[in-house]
Amino acid sequence: MPAIPGFDGVGALPDGTVVGFGNVRPPYGALAERAVQVLRKLGAGRVIATGRRAEALREVGADATIRTDVPDEDLVAAFRHVDCDVVLDFLWGRPTELLIRALTPAGLGLAKPTRLVQVGASAGGTLSLPAASVRTSGVEIYGATKGLTPTAMTEAYEQVVEWARAGELVCDIERVPLSGIEDAWARDAPPGKRMVVVPG
């Protein structure tokens, strides 16, 4: 402390040019959000969003949603009704433990492979992993930066910026002046919106 939270972000230069940045050095930081629309542009056939307010993601292209603020058995049951090949996990912790439980067969049998890409840990930094789930669930755990190079990161950012400039990615935002960051930090953005901090 003092420190500014966040790892990467999007900003505007004095001439109005929009730029992306990442790997900022402490104590500096940035806040960033991701959109379901990028998954569609990358070829995802079916997108299922999970979270406490996942319903809002239907407006930007999610085919189905699963709420995570339900009793454990209800969440496991919901996960068991989903057939997916890749999970982008921004939550970790309890929801991921329950997902892995849902993907683990109750009896003998082999489950189809499911690639779990660990991106964030907003629901907890650790999880308990039963041995049976490793043997039979078919879950393959990858880190989000596996195989990532600076060149690949640059190309990915450039692609997303190109889609945004072409109007193929949209995000409903609420602009919050930096002078109001304390209040903004203490509340959630309205459903379906993302808060963007601007000078002022």
- Measured from the Cβ of residue 87, the count of other Cβ atoms closer than 10 Å reads 23
Which stretch, 50-64, 78-92, 101-115, 160-174, has highest mean pLDDT?
Answer: 78-92
What are the angstrom distances between the C-alpha of 32 and each of 10, 100, 130?
7, 27, 33
- Bridge partners (DSSP) of residue 174 are 195
Q: What integer pLDDT is reported at residue 71 of this predicted model?
A: 92
- The residue ranking higher by pLDDT, 31 or 174, is 174
Range of the domain at 175: 9-34+149-198
DSSP state for residue 24 in the 8-state scheme: P
pLDDT digits (tens, 9 = 90+) for 80-133: 888 888 888 888 999 999 999 998 887 766 778 888 889 888 888 999 988 888
pLDDT at 76 > cutoff 70? yes
**What is 85-151 written as a DSSP string?**
SEEEES--HHHHHHHHHHHS-SSS--PPPEEEEE---TT-S-----HHHHHHS-EEEEETTTT--HH
Same domain? For 53 and 122 the reply is yes
Q: What integer pLDDT is reported at residue 3 of this predicted model?
A: 43
Same domain? For 160 and 86 the reply is no
Contact of 179 with 200, CB cutoff 8 Å: yes
pLDDT at 2 > cutoff 50? no
Residue 3 within a domain: no
pLDDT at 56 > cutoff 70? no
Residue 4 within a domain: no
Q: What CATH code is carried by the domain that includes residue 56?
A: 3.40.50.720
Q: Tell me, rounded to whole angstroms, the distance of Cα 29 from its chain centroid.
A: 18
Q: Quick one: what percent of the chain has pLDDT higher than 90?
A: 8
The domain total for the chain is 2
Residue 153 within a domain: yes
**Any idea what the Cα angle at residue 157 is, between residues 45 and 10, rounded to 5°?**
115
Same domain? For 30 and 48 the reply is no
Conformation bin of residue 116: beta by default, left when phi > 0, alpha when psi is -120 to 50 = beta
Q: What integer pLDDT is reported at residue 9 of this predicted model?
A: 57
Task: List all residues 6 or more positions away from 121 whose beta carbon is below 8 Å from its beta carbon.
Answer: 91, 92, 93
pLDDT at 13 > cutoff 70? no
Of the listed ranges 11-25, 67-81, 124-138, 148-162, the least confidently predicted one is 11-25
pLDDT digits (tens, 9 = 90+) for 131-156: 888 888 888 898 888 888 888 888 88
